[in-house]
């Protein structure tokens, strides 16, 4: 178990017990929690479930039926969780950010900037961040604050979820009972993802500042 760094053994065992006892219902529940920004990594849920589904340890159906059902249940669970996070951002607005924003690295004075950012780059960023651990769920809050079109938010979120979950399920099938070996690489990937996300944010901020300066000069 030394290959596991930041992901605790206790969390892995919790996920395993829930899935083994509740089956696809457990997968839906865990992915719903992940979509709601709770610390339940889909990398554990879907990889472990992919292994169980293919080897008929998750339900009595054939391996391929089980895998398809797993993909549907996991993706829909995460989508509904993302809806809840989106609505929190949309209807919680300023009061939510003032009270809880510090836990999500948001400050009250960033609300207007967040809305402006999503009006310009929101659609693509929602899709891309579904492949970046940590930020794949976090993105739903600013999407709600920016009042991104709900239908488009759902399409981009679900599309990203399905693609990401297909990869996780396949890895679970590929590594089988040794699926935990992958956690080391997921952990490293998380740091890479965060770095990429930070670069994107810096780039967008620079673009916004530059455009604002250009507008100011034109209005003089």
Euclidean distance between CA atoms 160 and 209, whole angstroms: 29
- Specify whether the CB–CB gap between 172 and 49 falls below 8 A: yes
Counting residues of the chain whose pLDDT is more than 70, the rounded percentage is 62
Q: What are 12-44's pLDDT values in tens digits?
A: 778 888 988 899 999 999 999 988 877 788 888
- Which of these ranges, 32-36, 126-130, 206-210, has the smallest mean pLDDT? 206-210
Q: How far apart are CA 119 and CA 53, in angstroms?
A: 40
Structure tokens at 109: 């004075």
Asked if the structure places residue 146 within a domain, the reply is: yes
Task: Please indicate, yes or no, if residue 4 is contained in any of the structural domains.
Answer: no
CA atoms within 13 A on the CB side of 210: 6
Whether 197 is covered by a domain: the verdict is yes
Q: Kindly state whether residue 63 falls inside one of the protein's structural domains.
A: yes
From residue 213, alpha-carbon distances to 71, 125, 202, 219 in Å are 47, 24, 16, 10
- For residue 176, being part of any structural domain is answered with yes
Q: Is residue 2 part of a domain?
A: no
Q: Into how many domains does the chain fold?
A: 1
pLDDT higher than 50, residue 95: yes
For the chain, the first-to-last Cα distance in angstroms comes to 64
Nearest to 180 by CA among 73, 70, 51: 51
Token couple for 27? 């997968």
Q: Which residue has the higher pLDDT, 26 or 203?
A: 26
Q: Are 154 and 79 in contact (CB under 8 A)?
A: yes
Instruction: For 130-186, write each residue's pLDDT tens digit.
Output: 877 666 777 888 888 888 899 999 999 999 999 989 988 988 888 777 666 666 655
Residue 3 lies in a domain: no
In this structure, what token pair is assigned to residue 85?
């996070």
Q: Which domain holds residue 80?
A: 9-219
What pLDDT sits at residue 56? 84
pLDDT at 126 over 80: yes
For the chain, the C-alpha Rg in angstroms (whole number) is 19
Whether residue 103 is contained in a domain is answered as yes
């Amino acid at each position: 178990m030394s290959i596991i760094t930041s992901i605790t053994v206790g969390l892995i065992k919790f996920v395993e017990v829930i899935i083994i006892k509740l089956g696809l219902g457990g997968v839906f529940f865990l992915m719903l929690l992940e979509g709601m920004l709770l610390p339940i990594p889909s990398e554990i849920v879907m990889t472990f479930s992919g292994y169980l589904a293919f080897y008929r340890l998750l339900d009595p159906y054939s391996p391929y039926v089980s895998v398809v059902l797993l993909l549907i249940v996991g993706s829909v669970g995460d989508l509904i969780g993302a809806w809840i996070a989106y609505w929190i951002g949309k209807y919680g607005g300023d009061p939510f950010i003032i009270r809880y924003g510090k836990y999500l690295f948001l400050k009250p004075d960033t609300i207007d900037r967040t809305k402006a950012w999503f009006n310009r780059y929101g659609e693509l960023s929602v899709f891309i961040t579904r492949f970046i651990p940590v930020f794949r769920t976090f993105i739903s809050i600013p999407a709600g604050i920016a009042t991104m079109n709900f239908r488009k938010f759902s399409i981009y979120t679900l599309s990203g979820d399905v693609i990401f979950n297909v990869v996780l399920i396949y890895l679970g099938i590929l590594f089988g009972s040794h699926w935990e070996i992958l956690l080391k690489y997921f952990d490293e990937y998380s740091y890479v993802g965060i770095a990429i996300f930070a670069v994107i944010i810096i780039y967008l901020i620079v673009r916004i500042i530059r455009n604002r300066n250009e507008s100011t000069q034109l209005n003089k």
